[in-house]
Amino acid sequence: MPLEWIDYQDAVRLYHLEQVAYSCGMLLYRLHGGICARTGRQ
């Protein structure tokens, strides 16, 4: 059981850094990368 809840930005960061031990539930959001500073594209 989780000890506390985090917002989706923190969850994405932790998932990207492979710091998530397991996930439960179903997909709520599909996030895409941000804007590239060099090209201005997503």
Convert the pLDDT of each residue in 3-20 to its tens digit. Answer: 788 888 898 899 889 998
Amino acid symbol at 24: C
Q: What is the DSSP string of 1-42?
A: --SS---HHHHHHHHHTT--S---S-----------TTT---
Separation between Cα atoms, residue 18 and residue 2, nearest integer Å: 17
pTM for this one?
0.57
Are 42 and 34 spatial neighbours (Cβ–Cβ below 8 Å)?
yes
Spell out the domain ranges in the chain: 1-42
Note the pLDDT of residue 19.
Answer: 93
Residues 6+ apart with CB under 8 A from 36: 42
